[in-house]
Chain A
Amino acid sequence: MSDSATGKSAALTFDLKARCSTSKARASTLHLPHGPVELPIFMPVATQASLKGLTPDQLEETSCRLCLNNTYHLGLKPGQAVLDAIGGAHKLQGWHHNILTDSGGFQMVSLLKLAKITEEGVRFLSPHDGSPMLLTPEHSISLQNSIGSDIIMQLDDVIQTTSPDAARMREAMYRSIRWLDRCIAAHKNPTTQNLFCIIQGGLDLDMRRECSVEMAKRNTPGIAIGGLSGGEAKSDFCKVVDTCTSLLPPLKPRYVMGIGYPEDIVVAVALGADMFDCVWPTRTARFGNAITRYGVLNLKHQRYSEDFGPVDEDCSCTVCRPKDDNAGLAISRAYIHHLAAKETVGAHLLTMHNVHWMLSLMRRARQAIVEDRYPDFAKKFFEDYFGDKGAPGWAVEAMKGAGIDLAGGASP
């Protein structure tokens, strides 16, 4: 389905633009059915076909061209019949750019503690009326075909990476491979929707290696590394990403699922990953937290009640931009403090800012890769973001493995 020599498949072209000469970081352009996106990329999560109060135009203004929808949520509401009648999720939400959907399996396991996984699929009780339900690989793909997302994910057998049960982990890894085969067979729209496989295997690097090789054989247009962001140690997370990317074909996008803290992304990019998603930037916005160059600020704190500066001085988002710069709003930290947790607009403004900030971080990272100065970029990021605290140990260690010495300070 995919030509790994050129990075082309039926509904996607992966165009590798530049590589970092020190680390495994890469800059590329991914051509998708609803337009090109630049990698590395952060994808905000519009769980139920809406990004937490932002209009599609506002989301577009953050420069987002690829966002997530959750299959499980859209399967519940509005449901497959409605999606079919409307003609998919793009039409539902008035979004003319790309959408990626997950398989629905993760929500089932994380939200519904009642799920039970068998070879057929995930058995669970309906959150609506408690009746027994089954999500199979075929059903997941059928739902994602109805959603019409540009990138769809295979159903995988997700278990906590920290699970001590190695036998169960191995079973889940092999089952995920078998389910990928069922997903590929069930996928009705390979020329308009890109099915990504998901590498499983917990924190066992041998298992991850075996899975990477097996998955790569299936030659899907893109490859995801799954099962992370489940509470494992950050150093373990880095080892898994590093191990997988070393085995994966170079001309395919690599997506690390559920990763979204800025520091995690900056490290994972150095380890050769291209795509990331996380609800954290938007969820934390609703709690009054603003991401800035110098770390996360909780604007609900009293100390911001008379801070009349912008949320982040360097930020060029609609919220932070001065009025004379392309109709910026010049909204102060003090006013966000005034609104936070009281008016929905407070959440909307910080959501706009945080999404814009994440996308701008990715743009700067990409630019640094293209100009072959990613190590300096990463050093500067950690210096600013962590300040006197210094970069966390796991990041220093992982970056050292990628050839970047964070402790050494940015070169002039």
Chain B
Amino acid sequence: MATPNEATLPKEMLSFVLRHGEFSKAGLRLGQLIIKGRSPIPTPNFVGSTSRGVVPHVTQDVLSKTTRIPAVYIGLEDFIEKTPPKAPILRQPSGKLSSKLRDFIALPSDCVAILGARRVPALDCPKQNTNTAISICTSVGFQSLELDDYVKCISELQADITVGLADVVTTEAISQKRLEKSADRTHAWLRDTLTPRLDDPDSQGPLFAFVPPLEPHQQSFYLGDLADDYKKEITGLSFLSPETAASLQKDLEALPRLCLSDPSSPQNVLRAIRLGNDMITVPLVNGASESGIAMTFFFDSIPDGQDIPLGFDLLATPHATDLSPLVSGCQCYTCTKHHRAYLHHLLSAKEMLAWTLLQIHNFHHIDVFFQQIRNAIEDGTFEEKAKAFSRAYDSEMPQSLGQGPRTRGYQAKSVGGGEPKRNERAYGRLEEHARKLEEAESGIATPEAELDALDLQKQGLGEVQQ
């Protein structure tokens, strides 16, 4: 059943066991990613996306106690406001067997750390990449990251998995010539990343080669090169687009595949799995939690019906006194310890704990979802269930009233000026009160003594009317 993977190097650090069988014919794969010192990860599985080294709103103790996130993806650009080698993370003291990256961000030991250059999803940078550097976005603005610096950083930081540097072009209209340049650069960068490793492969952590989104004929050319030149040095493949997985040639099949995409819905996750992706980033979980949405979709016992919502907005009013869990029967911390009424209250009071509790639920929920997917692949019911899923559920995550946390510069950028402010103003919100004070003092609005006290009292404290 299990076929040990020849391409796995260095063997003791990472191995990928792909289970061949009837389920592999449609592109579907079942496997197991084994990384030294971590729990084995059954695939397909998800990867949590981080911001500045944390799963947003989830402290490290909560992460290890209440979630089972098998792996997180970390963008180096979140750590290099100062150009390497001056970045503080590179000076993190660390033992021989530990990783500077993991020690710096205090990542729980059972969670795999995957490091790449950019965040997922990454913001577009105004400056073009060059032959030796890519444009990145740090919390202090757009900067360049030189390949040499990237290679030094990844060797210093020792993530469990590192993704090679890629010349990614995100503009919609992209010329043939630019695509070729992208392939050439990424290829050259991979070579330059691997060369220093040839002397001492054991000292370097597993590297996943980045496969740029190319036209099919270029793709096979690029991948052919990859297979010929670096098969031994590469422990996995990584791409931005889930489609890339389907265009891979046979002799690269045994490598684990990491898809750094931003699927907008569980249907897109299912699609990525069908295309043969093993590990998939799911920024939609963070997005749902920040907008106050609890996920409710399942891949087992898919309900009959149509347009069934994929989640629900806890800020919506019916939940104010609802003492039931977010999802009935859910075993997560949030659902076993709290209820909808509390989540509703926290969102309405704009308390940060709302996002934390929703992250706990939503990450638990996506974990269950992937477990159900793996079971379905195993028992041959994936296609049938995927169809039923698409039939039953809405194709998009629900809209919400929640405002989420304040957006930071490294999370979103201006699209050219003129757009409304992303954040509510933090200061001067009391100006309205000051105006009322003035009115009150002028005698217009102050409740006067002749108003009946009992009538006034009946009005309560000025509760927000639901």
Binding site for B on A (CB under 8 A): 48-58, 72-73, 75-82, 85-86, 91-94, 104, 112-114, 116, 118, 120-121, 123-136, 138-139, 143, 305-306, 308, 318, 327, 329-332, 334-335, 337-339, 342-345, 347-349, 352
Say yes or no: is B440 at the interface (Cβ < 8 Å to chain A): yes
Which residues of chain B from 316 to 330 have any CB-CB distance to chain A below 8 Å in the complex? 320-321, 323
Chain B residue numbers with a CB within 8 Å of A85 are 321
Given contacts A131-B459, A330-B106, contact A113 B57 (CB under 8 A): no
Chain B residue numbers with a CB within 8 Å of A76 are 461-464
Report whether B52 and A77 are in contact in the complex, using a CB–CB cutoff of 8 Å. no
Q: A111 vs B153: C-alpha distance in the bound complex, in angstroms?
A: 50
Report whether A132 and B456 are in contact in the complex, using a CB–CB cutoff of 8 Å. yes
Say yes or no: is B64 at the interface (Cβ < 8 Å to chain A): yes
Say yes or no: is B445 at the interface (Cβ < 8 Å to chain A): yes
Nearest chain A CB to B316 CB, angstrom units: 14
Which residues of chain B from 42 to 72 have any CB-CB distance to chain A below 8 Å in the complex? 51-54, 56-62, 64-65
Q: 5 closest A-B pairs (Cβ-Cβ)?
A: A126-B462, A132-B447, A79-B463, A134-B456, A53-B352
Chain A residue numbers with a CB within 8 Å of B20 are none
Binding site for A on B (CB under 8 A): 51-54, 56-62, 64-65, 79, 88-89, 91-93, 103-106, 139, 320-321, 323, 333, 337-338, 341-342, 344-346, 348-349, 351-353, 355-357, 405, 408, 410, 433-434, 436-437, 440, 445-447, 449, 451, 453, 456-457, 459-465
Report whether B356 and A55 are in contact in the complex, using a CB–CB cutoff of 8 Å. yes
- Apart from A49-B342, A92-B342, A344-B355, what 14 extra A-B contacts exist at CB < 8 Å? A48-B349, A49-B345, A78-B345, A82-B341, A86-B321, A92-B345, A125-B440, A131-B459, A132-B456, A133-B460, A135-B461, A136-B453, A338-B88, A347-B352
Chain B residue numbers with a CB within 8 Å of A348 are 57, 59, 352, 356
Least CB separation from B356: chain A residue: A53
Report whether B320 and A82 are in contact in the complex, using a CB–CB cutoff of 8 Å. yes
Chain B residue numbers with a CB within 8 Å of A339 are 52-54
Q: A75 vs B464: C-alpha distance in the bound complex, in angstroms?
A: 10
Nearest chain B CB to A110 CB, angstrom units: 12
Nearest chain A CB to B123 CB, angstrom units: 15
Nearest chain B CB to A86 CB, angstrom units: 6
Q: A116 vs B356: C-alpha distance in the bound complex, in angstroms?
A: 39
Chain B residue numbers with a CB within 8 Å of A72 are 461
Q: A329 vs B109: C-alpha distance in the bound complex, in angstroms?
A: 11
Q: A139 vs B333: C-alpha distance in the bound complex, in angstroms?
A: 36
Report whether B457 and A343 are in contact in the complex, using a CB–CB cutoff of 8 Å. no
Given contacts A94-B337, A344-B57, contact A123 B52 (CB under 8 A): no
Least CB separation from B457: chain A residue: A134
Chain A residue numbers with a CB within 8 Å of B60 are 329, 331
Report whether B437 and A113 are in contact in the complex, using a CB–CB cutoff of 8 Å. yes
Report whether B456 and A123 are in contact in the complex, using a CB–CB cutoff of 8 Å. yes
Report whether A114 and B440 are in contact in the complex, using a CB–CB cutoff of 8 Å. yes
Report whether B461 and A327 are in contact in the complex, using a CB–CB cutoff of 8 Å. no
Q: A125 vs B437: C-alpha distance in the bound complex, in angstroms?
A: 9
- Offer 19 A-B interface pairs, CB within 8 angstroms, sorted by A: A49-B345, A50-B353, A53-B351, A57-B333, A76-B464, A77-B464, A81-B463, A82-B345, A86-B323, A94-B342, A132-B456, A133-B459, A136-B453, A334-B92, A334-B104, A335-B53, A337-B88, A342-B139, A352-B59
Q: A344 vs B354: C-alpha distance in the bound complex, in angstroms?
A: 12
Q: A352 vs B89: C-alpha distance in the bound complex, in angstroms?
A: 23
Given contacts A79-B464, A338-B52, A342-B139, contact A114 B437 (CB under 8 A): yes
Report whether B59 and A345 are in contact in the complex, using a CB–CB cutoff of 8 Å. yes
Q: A93 vs B79: C-alpha distance in the bound complex, in angstroms?
A: 36
Least CB separation from B449: chain A residue: A118
Q: A338 vs B463: C-alpha distance in the bound complex, in angstroms?
A: 39
Chain B residue numbers with a CB within 8 Å of A79 are 460-461, 463-464
Q: A216 vs B241: C-alpha distance in the bound complex, in angstroms?
A: 73
Report whether A306 and B463 are in contact in the complex, using a CB–CB cutoff of 8 Å. no
Interface residue SS majority, chain A: mixed
Given contacts A79-B460, A130-B445, contact A335 B106 (CB under 8 A): yes
Nearest chain A CB to B77 CB, angstrom units: 13
Report whether B447 and A116 are in contact in the complex, using a CB–CB cutoff of 8 Å. yes
Report whether B446 and A116 are in contact in the complex, using a CB–CB cutoff of 8 Å. yes
Q: A78 vs B339: C-alpha distance in the bound complex, in angstroms?
A: 14
Q: A342 vs B457: C-alpha distance in the bound complex, in angstroms?
A: 43
Partner of B59, one of A114, A136, A308, A349: A349
Partner of B405, one of A125, A136, A138, A344: A344
Most buried by B among A134, A334, A352: A134
Chain A residue numbers with a CB within 8 Å of B456 are 123, 132-134
Chain B residue numbers with a CB within 8 Å of A308 are 91-93
Least CB separation from A118: chain B residue: B449
Nearest chain A CB to B324 CB, angstrom units: 12
Report whether A113 and B446 are in contact in the complex, using a CB–CB cutoff of 8 Å. no
Nearest chain A CB to B93 CB, angstrom units: 6
Partner of B56, one of A56, A136, A343: A343
Nearest chain B CB to A99 CB, angstrom units: 14
Nearest chain A CB to B364 CB, angstrom units: 14
Q: A267 vs B437: C-alpha distance in the bound complex, in angstroms?
A: 38
Report whether A58 and B61 are in contact in the complex, using a CB–CB cutoff of 8 Å. yes
Report whether A123 and B104 are in contact in the complex, using a CB–CB cutoff of 8 Å. no
Least CB separation from B351: chain A residue: A50
Chain B residue numbers with a CB within 8 Å of A318 are 61
Nearest chain B CB to A324 CB, angstrom units: 12
Q: A32 vs B98: C-alpha distance in the bound complex, in angstroms?
A: 47
Q: A48 vs B171: C-alpha distance in the bound complex, in angstroms?
A: 45
Chain A residue numbers with a CB within 8 Å of B79 are 338
Least CB separation from B104: chain A residue: A335
Q: A81 vs B451: C-alpha distance in the bound complex, in angstroms?
A: 25
Least CB separation from B438: chain A residue: A114
Chain B residue numbers with a CB within 8 Å of A329 are 59-61, 106
Chain B residue numbers with a CB within 8 Å of A127 are 433, 462
Report whether A132 and B59 are in contact in the complex, using a CB–CB cutoff of 8 Å. no
Chain A residue numbers with a CB within 8 Å of B51 are 343
Chain A residue numbers with a CB within 8 Å of B103 are 330
Chain B residue numbers with a CB within 8 Å of A114 are 433, 436-437, 440, 446
Q: A69 vs B88: C-alpha distance in the bound complex, in angstroms?
A: 39
Report whether B52 and A55 are in contact in the complex, using a CB–CB cutoff of 8 Å. no
Chain B residue numbers with a CB within 8 Å of A332 are 92, 104
Chain B residue numbers with a CB within 8 Å of A80 are 460-461, 463
Q: A139 vs B454: C-alpha distance in the bound complex, in angstroms?
A: 11
Partner of B349, one of A77, A136, A349: A77
Nearest chain B CB to A48 CB, angstrom units: 4
